[in-house]
Amino acid sequence: MAKYIAIEWDSLEVRVLVASSRGGNVGVDHAAAFPTPEANSPQELPSIIGQYIADNAKMLQVPANSNCLIALGRGQVEARTFDVPPVPTDELPVIVEMQAPQQFSQMTEEWTLDFYPQQLDDDLQASSVLAAAVSPDTIADVIGICGPAGLTPTRISLRPLLTAALLCDRYAIAEPILAVDILADQIELTVVHDHSAPIMRTVQLPASGVHNTENIISEIKRTLASASHLNDTLEIEKLILLGDTDESDLSEALAKDLKLEVEVLNPFTLTHNGATPKNTDNLHCGRYASLIAIIDAAANEHRPAIDFSNPRKTPPPPSVTEKHGRTAILTAAVIMLLILALYLPIRSRSLELASMNADIEAGKAFLERQEELVTKDLIITKYQGKTKNWLDQLVYLCQTFPNSDDAIVADFRANTEARAFDPTGQSNAPLWSIAMEVAVRDYGVLKTLEDSVRSNVHTIQSSGLSKTEEAVRYPWLTREVIRIMPGVVADAPEQSSIVEQESDPNNAASETPVSTANTDDQAERSDPSANDVEPDTTVSDSETATPEETN
């Protein structure tokens, strides 16, 4: 079971709270308060308070050599709220440190600065922060109180923010409220909204510590007006008065005058057992809200909004030792990567070779079968390589055909030749045939046409010229049969044609002899069905063509 000691003080009273925690649940063991001792100077006061705590440690139930939690009042700390540019969270301390001297006129480098984001934008980056700075004298006062009692301050926080955190975490406040904490020498007015305290005001009481209801109501109205001026949406409809039943008269007066819902809250009811310590009959329970809050945060390992013992700072640059250590680690990592980069491929190759050797020894028959299949596949591939593309042949004819002033195609028929499968891939049987009925100007044009079309893969046969009386521009009519053979397509005269390179030089095609007259072609010429075409060029597939032989 962890033990916690929390201390706060003002000009009239010192308050001490001792609590225990088990599993994050806080239970109050002892609460005490005693008048602030008199001192010849303000510098002597902290040591006198610390000595008093040490002398009465048994009565206060304060164990020696323990950690201590300190709550500072608003009057002991300089606090400002200001806007910051949207930057990443790790860069925010630098921005706050740069702007803090402009916000705190008395701040020097010896002051301790801490902050927490108040408003976040859509990217969860802080747009507004509340910064608090404490002077070296106040830190010296904290050490002076803890030193004589053998205590070590581990957390130093701001009292209004602690009260706001307690109400939000333990009382589950959802709407903006105004918390009123009447202390011995002052009244703290804190607007609590969304785990933050946008407005924190402190009103000093007379030296006697007696408060006046009218003055309190007046200061509350000023605070409500400040909240409305700060944010139009910050509407406060409830007031929480920290205290016990002895504050009932004040709560009724506040409710009557302010027309607000007023609730009296005993902060001890927010602890685990929810009971007020037995020794608090003569104590003001509401003044212990901040001490309960700082103990609750420590028990649950939550950082307070402001913690001067561990302020938010920019991460320090790495030391020389850290740099050398990182360099050594990086070097070792690089060496390991190089070793792995060299070893893993060698190991992988060794395993691969062993596996391949085993497969070779065990699968010779399988490999022979695969070689046979590969051989057949090559034959099929070679046979298919002999085929041509119709579009390429049409392009070839366009490149080699005379111009329209010399010749015109009256009929065009393209057929795929039926041929048997040749496993050797050396057959010279024609692949396709093209039959054209061509009207030419004279015999020289026909000669030019035949010479242009003929190549190592193209043979051409002519039916001869016949005179026609109907056509004046093209008086000579002939029927040309072009057969396309396997082999290499030669370049057309004076124009580039499509070239298909054979992979096997032993399969070079030989040119088919050309005849200028053919009796069968003359018979086709006399067939009336062959002449029933329009003058424009037409293409029709042969009825004897098969899908397997059409490319």
Domain ranges across the chain: 2-299, 384-549
pLDDT score, position 126? 72
In three-state secondary structure terms, 81 is strand
pLDDT score, position 420? 66
**In which residue are the tokens 């060496």 written?**
335
- Cβ count within 10 A of residue 446: 22
Q: Are 169 and 227 in contact (CB under 8 A)?
A: no
Torsional sign, CA 83, 87, 89, 91 = negative
The percent of the chain in helix, strand and coil, each rounded to the nearest 5, is 40, 25, 35
**In which residue are the tokens 């070839």 written?**
396
Q: Which phi and psi (to 5°) does residue 157 adopt?
A: -130, 175
pLDDT in tens, 191-239: 998 888 889 999 888 766 677 888 889 999 999 998 888 877 788 989 9
pLDDT in tens, 433-445: 899 999 998 888 8
Kindly report whether the global pTM for this prediction surpasses the value 0.85.
Answer: no
User: What residues contact residue 502 under an 8 Å CB cut-off, 6+ apart?
Assistant: 385, 487, 488, 508
Residues 65-89: b if buried by 16+ CB within 10 A, e if exposed: ebebbbbbbbebbbbbbeebeeeee
- The CATH number of 2-299, from 3.90.1520.10, 3.30.420.380, 3.30.9.10, 3.30.420.40, is 3.30.420.380
Q: Are 484 and 469 in contact (CB under 8 A)?
A: no
pLDDT score, position 51? 92
How much is the CA Rg of the chain, to the nearest whole Å? 52
Domain 384-549 matching CATH 3.30.1360.100: the answer reads yes
Three-state secondary structure string covering 319-370:
CHHHHHHHHHHHHHHHHHHHHHHHHHHHHHHHHHHHHHHHHHHHCHHHHHHH
Q: Are 271 and 26 in contact (CB under 8 A)?
A: yes
Write out the H or E segment, with its range, that includes residue 427.
none
Residue ranges, the chain, pLDDT below 70: 1, 121-124, 207-209, 279-281, 318, 382-388, 418-427, 487-551
